Each structure stands twice: as C-alpha cells, then as structure tokens.
C-alpha cells in the first residue's frame, strides 16, 4: 500500500510540474512577442505548438509504459524536458522558439504516462479515486499563470552572471525544477515488472 501511494503522490507531483512547463509559452510568449514584434498569427502559432505536440504524441508515448514501465518513461520525460528549457534561455530567433516549443510540448505527454503508471498500481475499485487525485496535477497550468509573471521580474533583463534575466529566468528556473523533480521522482517510485504487457502494437491499438 505504501508503494502505490508513494507512486500516486510522485505521479501527481511530477504531472503538476510538467503541466506548469507545458503552458510556459502562454506567459513568456507575450514577452517574446514584444521582443520580436510578432503578428497575431505568429504569436498564436508560438503558443499553440507545444499544446499540439503534447496532445498528438500522447498516444505513442502513453503506450510506452506498457512495455518499459512508467517509472523510467516519466523520469526520462522530466529529465529531458530540461534541455529545451535551458536552450530557450538563449534562443533569439523565431524559428528557434518554434522548434524548442515542439520539444517542450513533450511535457504534455506526461498526462498519458502518469495515467498508465498510476492505473497499474491500483485495483479497479480504486482507479477512479487514484486517477482523480492524479488528475489534480493539471493545476500546474494555473501555477505557471500565477507565478511566472513574478519570476520574470526577479532578475534584471541583462541577467546576473550565468543566470539569465527577464523572461528568460522563467525557463531557467523551470529547467532546474524538472531536474530536481526527476531525482525525487526516481527516488520515491518503484518498478513492478508484472505491470509490463507483452502485447504487440496491433493489440495495443485494437481499442
């Protein structure tokens, strides 16, 4: 019981962090729009691309835990998301923001991974409750809208040494957050090989 509750707590925590990352362009995109003098369509594309990526890739990424387990997949998602976040701190051109937005959008696939991993640990009679608790992690989107604007004012636009300033401080903080979360997540989650399915791609796609 302790293991499955720990997995649920970590999935909810990790999902909250990843959803905060997923909508980062909803806040920093406004500053980027001013910086590059983007038009309405360019700005809309910038904000929409991460959401699009995270939505479309939920199916293939969501099937991965059935084969490899939720623990390594979720941890890898957390850790690798730090890369485009750090690169975002140094991007200067519109196409760079678009490409990084595509990769940051992978954070949205954590929803599918977390559902699969959480479900595997709970009997059917408790899955509604456990998934309801896990689903509360989508409040991460609200946390970004609440705290990101304040983070943009913490460090001056010119930055302080290796720490970027202005809106670039937000992805810098988020990159550190996902790396720390990845370490905590791995430490307090567990692997149960009985959860792995031996089904083919065709069988998984049958529903």
pLDDT tens digits for 172-183? 999 999 999 999
**Residue range 103-117: average pLDDT?**
95
Q: Which two tokens stand for residue 77?
A: 């998602």
Question: Nearest 5 degrees, angle CA 9-CA 11-CA 12?
Answer: 65
> How many Å apart are CA 141 and CA 78, to the nearest integer?
16
Is the model's pLDDT at 48 over the cut of 90?
yes
Torsional class of 156: left (φ above 0), alpha (ψ -120 to 50), beta (otherwise): beta
**Residue range 152-168: average pLDDT?**
91
Q: Which residue in this structure is represented by tokens 């059917």? A: 124
The answer to whether residues 106 and 77 touch, using CB atoms and an 8 Å cutoff, is yes
> How many Å apart are CA 193 and CA 204, to the nearest integer?
18
How many C-beta neighbours within 10 Å does residue 179 have?
Answer: 16
The rounded percent of the chain whose pLDDT value lies above 70 is 100
How confident is residue 202, by pLDDT bands cut at 50, 70 and 90?
A: confident
How confident is residue 194, by pLDDT bands cut at 50, 70 and 90?
A: confident
pTM, whole model, 2 decimals? 0.91
The answer to whether residues 27 and 151 touch, using CB atoms and an 8 Å cutoff, is no
Q: Which two tokens stand for residue 52?
A: 């699009």
């Amino acid at each position: 019981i302790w293991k499955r509750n720990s997995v649920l707590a970590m999935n909810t925590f990790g999902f909250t962090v990843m959803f905060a990352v997923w909508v980062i362009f909803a806040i920093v995109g406004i500053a980027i729009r001013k910086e590059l003098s983007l038009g309405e369509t360019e700005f809309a594309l910038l904000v929409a691309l991460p959401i699009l990526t995270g939505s479309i890739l939920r199916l293939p990424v969501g099937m991965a835990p059935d084969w490899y387990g939720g623990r390594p997949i979720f941890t890898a998602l957390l850790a690798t998301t730090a890369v485009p976040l750090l690169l975002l701190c140094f991007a200067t051109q519109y196409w760079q923001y678009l490409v990084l937005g595509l990769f940051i959008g992978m954070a949205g696939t954590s929803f599918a991974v977390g559902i699969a991993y959480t479900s595997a640990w709970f009997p059917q009679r408790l899955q509604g409750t456990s998934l309801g608790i896990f689903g509360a992690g989508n409040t991460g989107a609200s946390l970004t809208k609440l705290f990101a604007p304040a983070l943009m004012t913490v460090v001056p636009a010119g930055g302080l040494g290796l720490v970027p300033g202005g809106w670039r401080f937000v992805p810098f903080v988020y990159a550190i957050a996902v790396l720390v979360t990845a370490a905590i997540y791995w430490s307090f989650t567990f692997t149960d090989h009985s959860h792995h399915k031996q089904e083919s791609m065709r069988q998984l796609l049958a529903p």
